[in-house]
Structures are given as structure tokens and as C-alpha cells.
């Protein structure tokens, strides 16, 4: 099945942003995920055709970056950081707790398709360790108990708001569209940079640095 006329038009608008069309590979892959839920063969073929590339070139990009998935993930994709700092602060315990609660391991999805799980090397938020991300939204300073509450909220259809970012947790497909560069109108919602991230800057300002 091919993409709709409207979806193809959005792809064209994404490509038009760039002086060189090849630069649109990554946002186009996110856009495919916003429609299909993962990078599908039809997505690869359509992107390759529109950018005048071999399918192998598009596939090479989609398999290099871990944000692109070659198989369906859950409506809510949970990524638990277990890199050094998060692990020391409790990331491993959080991961084991979530596995037990959901009955799945990394790179698996619950039978209802609601939640999938990924063990992440780094969420680039060490100042808030241990950190969990859901559909790439931050949940900071987590514990096994708080993450279990998060999981229960997702299952009940009422997930808590991210620690930073929008006031409402959006689905995997919705956030994939944002990563493709399509505005959801929520960029100004919530905390953008928290106190821990700004601590060094604020100390420098207090000491008269510019």
C-alpha cells in the first residue's frame, strides 16, 4: 500500500527545507515512523525514490541510529538509561523492576502493543540521573517505585506529565512527527532547562561572568 497524497505532500515539504535533498533522510525516516510506527520497507522505498538514492543508502541511515526502529514498538516506548552514572544511581534496579512489572525484556513489546522497552546507553541527562524516557520525553530522578507509577499510568491511559517538556505525554507516533520537524504547538510548554542543568551558568552569572 502506498502513502496517501497528503502524506507524500508532507514528505515533499520536508525535502524542500534543505539545499541538498539527501539531507532530508533523517526527518523523513521520523515521518515514516509517525505514520507506520516504525521504518517500514515501503517507507525506505519511498524515501529512496524521492531523494534519488539507492534503498541501501536509506537503510544504512535507518539502521545506524537507534531512534529508528525496524520493527513495531509500543504506543509508549520506554527507554531506561543504564549507563554508568544512571546505573550507579539506580538505573539497573529500575530496569529490572520494569521488566518484572511488564513481563518483557529489552526490545520487546507488551502483547497489547501498549508499551515497549529499551535499555539505553545514555539519555544525555546525567544531571538528573537516573533518567527514564518515554517517547523521548524526560522523566528525571526516578526510582523503581516512581517508574512503576509511570507504567501504571500509561497502562490506564493517564500517564503523568514529563518532568521537562510538554504538559502531556504524547504517543510514539505523535512525537515521531515532531522529530520530523512538524510542530505540535507544544514547544513552549513546561520546563525547558531545569535547575540542575543551569546551576553552573547561574553560578557564573552570580560571580559576574558574561
pLDDT digits (tens, 9 = 90+) for 2-26: 899 999 999 999 999 999 999 999 9
The verdict on 48 and 88 lying in the same domain is: no
Tell me if 196 is assigned to some domain.
Answer: no
The verdict on 49 and 83 lying in the same domain is: no
What are 35-75's pLDDT values in tens digits?
Answer: 999 999 999 999 999 999 999 999 999 999 999 999 999 99
The verdict on 81 and 118 lying in the same domain is: yes
How many other C-beta atoms lie within 10 A of the C-beta of residue 2?
A: 9
User: How many angstroms separate the CA atoms of 163 and 22, rounded?
Assistant: 35
CB 85 within 8 A of CB 98: no
How many other C-beta atoms lie within 10 A of the C-beta of residue 143?
A: 14
The verdict on 87 and 53 lying in the same domain is: no
Q: Which three cell numbers stand for residue 53?
A: 538514492
The verdict on 86 and 158 lying in the same domain is: yes
* Total tally of structural domains belonging to the chain: 2
pLDDT score of 192 more than 80: no
Bigger pLDDT: 65 or 205? Answer: 65
The verdict on 105 and 128 lying in the same domain is: yes
Task: Mark which of 44, 64, 84 sits at the end of a domain.
Answer: 64
Tell me if 97 is assigned to some domain.
Answer: yes
Q: Which domain holds residue 30?
A: 5-64
The verdict on 80 and 167 lying in the same domain is: yes
The verdict on 82 and 167 lying in the same domain is: yes
Tell me if 101 is assigned to some domain.
Answer: yes
What are 75-127's pLDDT values in tens digits?
Answer: 999 999 999 999 999 999 999 999 999 999 999 999 999 999 999 989 889 99
Amino acid at each position: 500500500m502506498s502513502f496517501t497524497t497528503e502524506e507524500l505532500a508532507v514528505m515533499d515539504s520536508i525535502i524542500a527545507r534543505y539545499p541538498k535533498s539527501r539531507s532530508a533522510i533523517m526527518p523523513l525516516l521520523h515521518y515514516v515512523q509517525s505514520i507506520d510506527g516504525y521504518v517500514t520497507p515501503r517507507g525506505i522505498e519511498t524515501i529512496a525514490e524521492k531523494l534519488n538514492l539507492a534503498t541501501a543508502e536509506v537503510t544504512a541511515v535507518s539502521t545506524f541510529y537507534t531512534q529508528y526502529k525496524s520493527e513495531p514498538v509500543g504506543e509508549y516506548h520506554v527507554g531506561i538509561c543504564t549507563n554508568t552514572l544512571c546505573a550507579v544511581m539506580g538505573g539497573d534496579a529500575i530496569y529490572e523492576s520494569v521488566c518484572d512489572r511488564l513481563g518483557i525484556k529489552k526490545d520487546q513489546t507488551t502483547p497489547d502493543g501498549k508499551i515497549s522497552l529499551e535499555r539505553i546507553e545514555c539519555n544525555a541527562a546525567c544531571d538528573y540521573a537516573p533518567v527514564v524516557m518515554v517517547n523521548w520525553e524526560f522523566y528525571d530522578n526516578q526510582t523503581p517505585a516512581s517508574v512503576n507509577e509511570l507504567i501504571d499510568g500509561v497502562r490506564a491511559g493517564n500517564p503523568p506529565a514529563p518532568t521537562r517538556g510538554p504538559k502531556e505525554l504524547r504517543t510514539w507516533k505523535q512525537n515521531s512527527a515532531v522529530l520530523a520537524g512538524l510542530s505540535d504547538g507544544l514547544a513552549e510548554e513546561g520546563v525547558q532547562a531545569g535547575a540542575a542543568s543551569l546551576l553552573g551558568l547561574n553560578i557564573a552569572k552570580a560571580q559576574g561572568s558574561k
